[in-house]
Structures are given as C-alpha cells and as structure tokens.
Chain A
C-alpha cells in the first residue's frame, strides 16, 4: 500500500515539473540559462567533430555528380564572363561616386542601412523535429553573433539568429517565421523610382511560399519581381534578397494585395551561411542604452 502511494507521488511530482518546464520554455525569450548555453556548446562541439567524416563523404558523392556537368557549365560561364567584366567596371565607378557623395554629405559608415559586417559560419545540425525550423551554427557570442541578426547564404536571406550561446547559435529559418517576427521589405520594380513596401508576415506550409502583405494596394505588383529587405524594421539591414514574387492576390477585404514569395535560398540544403551584423545601431540597442542611462540617473 505504501509502495503504491509513493509511486503515485513521484508520478504527480514529475508531471508538475514537466508542465512547469514547458511553461517556462514557451515564453518568448532570447536569453538562455547558463545550463542551456553549456549544453548547446558541448553538443555543438561534438557535432562538429562527428560531422567531419559525414560531410566529407557527401562532398565526394556530390563532386562525382558535378563532374558530368562541368563542360556545359564551363561554356555558359565563359559567355557570362564578358558581361561581368563590364558590370564590375560600372560597379567600381558607382562605388567611387557614392564614396564622394558620402564625403560631401558628411555621414559616417554606420548611418547607412546597407552597411554590415559579415561573420562566416557553418551549419552543424538541423533540428530533428521538423516542426521546429531551426539549424545550429558553429559561431556564438564569442564571435560577435547576437540574437535577431539576420542570416544569409550567397543566394539570399535564410532567417535570423534566435538564441546565441558562447560558441554556437540557433537560427530560425524563414519558413518558421510567424506574425511575431515579420520582415519589412521592398519590392523592386524596374520602371519606378520608389520601391513598393510591405511586410513578410508568415509562411504558408502547404504551398511552401512566404506571404507578403503590401502596405498599399498597388497594381504594378507582378510575378517575377524580386523582394528585398528594406532595413526599416530595425533588425535586418537593407538590401538582402529574400525571394521572387510567384503570384499576387487581393486580401480578404480587397484593401491591400497579398503576394506569395518563393525564397531565393534553398532552405533544405544549407552548409555555409553568413551572419550579418548591422553596422547601424538597431532599435533594441538604442532601447538598451536608454534603459541604462535611465538606471544611472535614478
């Protein structure tokens, strides 16, 4: 009898602890406890060691696959090389011009939304439960990675840093974004001087496309147009490519248009990523400074 009672007691206690843990971790939080930091880092370290042979074998397999296409690719690359030379020249001229203009306007580097510093990182693991769109990268606060920084690959934006431990960080991928972490974007239209602005508000699981909500009802929105981050959300720098508009429809009340956007980067196959550290102070940082000064005053 006593034995039965004790078992029931243990069961109740452990249920309470588990419900408490779930409740604790469900809050919106960017700061991790020391325990979590420690586990993230030590598992991340072991993961990197184990990944070496695995990525080596997959690398060799991919190389063999690629060799077949080398000749055709080479021809294509040669033809595009000439165009690139011309573009490069133009680019140089424009950069010079911009530098001169900057000097005239007397603005420092960090006043421009485009400016950022890049931190190179490799992906060490992906969340095994695909309901969590997360990857782990091998750079942490020691390398300057902070929560909310945006993460890109060569092709475009893939997400933002969710939490960072000293040596590893967790990245929330674009297809895990919801209304609480929207991105302010511009749609690039060739003919117009000003860009169309809007927000990426979420991800549609079934069509596997991002949802873009425009600020105005604008008839010029078409498929094939490219979507870039506008830098106005206070978190992401300006000019990161996000994706391409696939189709456009009016929203429920016909007030704004909603577009579906296909992400430029392949979110399934990620190996090397770049974490973007925005040079201009973000809204969060300004708030922090203000809080500190207030504390000092009081």
Chain B
C-alpha cells in the first residue's frame, strides 16, 4: 500500500487529463456560445496533493505536474512547454506558501481560486507572446477568465469532496505510519 500511493495519484492525474479532453467535446446546453471554459482539473488535483499530501522534503506534485502537463501539451496543443511552465510554476509557488499556511477547507478554496486565475492569466500571456492568439485583454477576461474560473472552482469543490480526506489519509499512511 505504501508504495502504491504515488502510482495511485499518478493514475488519477492521467484520468483527469483524459476527462479534460472528453468534456471539451461535449457541448453543455446551459453555457453561452461565446464563453470559453478551459478545464484545469489536473492542476486543481495537484494543488490538493500539494496542500494535503506533500511533506516538506517531497516533490510529488511538482514531478507529476511536469509529467502530466507535458502529456497535456502534446495531446491538446501544438506548442510544447506552455502548460508545463504555467502549472509547475504556480504549484511551486503554492508549495512555498503552504509552508506558512494550514491545510483546511477555506485555504484550499482560496488556493484553488487564486491558483486557477493566476495559471490562466499566465497561459494567456505566454500564448500571446508566441502569437498563438491575438485576443485583447478585455475580450479575454470577459469571455474566458471568468467562465473558466467559475467552472474550475465548481469542479474543485467536487474534487475536494472526493479526495481531500483521502489525500490526508494517504499522506499519513505514506509518511507516518510505521509498518
């Protein structure tokens, strides 16, 4: 069990990457046409891994973020490296912050909100620099930033309900229980 836990987390990350692509394929009826909601499920899950699972000397979230955002980049975009950079940089910042903060629900929600917004803005600027899109800032925050944030925070709550307790338990089993 102890050795399996990192692989279990990796498997969940992989499934979330796939889910992101499958959900983009379904057009949800209650959304307006011009809204763009981009799923950052992998990022949110790894954020919770940082908050609830990680110890000070381990780098699981960072390592998984590099591997799976690379897959994300290869499968869903033309440009390799943008998601790797955005996800990993924000996760590293979250990791530094978590040294001072407690792991509880309010902090998790706050971190999700700030994390998703910062990640998406970072992605916007990186793609802007390399000319993937030529959208203006005002168009971006109305049509993409707000729907994306709401969509991801809602999903973040769902992931919190399913995984927060489990991750704390896994952390205990992995690092503290002697067997």
Interface residues of A (CB under 8 A from B): 18-19, 21-22, 24-26, 36, 39-40, 43-44, 46-47, 50-51, 54, 58, 123-132, 134-136, 162, 205, 268-270
Contact = CB atoms under 8 A, between A and B. Distances in A.
Contacts of B24: 125-128, 130
B75 A22 contact: no
Nearest to B92: A11
14 contacts: A19-B81, A25-B81, A43-B75, A51-B25, A58-B26, A125-B18, A125-B76, A126-B24, A128-B24, A129-B38, A131-B133, A134-B76, A135-B25, A269-B27
B121 to A, nearest CB: 14
Interface residues of B, number: 36
B34 to A, nearest CB: 9
Contacts of B144: 130
Contacts of B81: 18-19, 21-22, 25
Given A22-B130, A25-B81, A39 B27 contact: no
B152 to A, nearest CB: 11
Interface of B: 14-15, 17-27, 36, 38-39, 71-72, 74-82, 84-85, 123, 127, 130, 132-133, 135, 144
Given A46-B14, A47-B18, A130-B36, A125 B77 contact: no
A46 B133 CA distance: 30
Nearest to B40: A128
A58 to B, nearest CB: 6
Nearest to A25: B80
A126 B25 contact: yes
Contacts of B135: 131, 205
Contacts of A127: 21, 24, 76-77
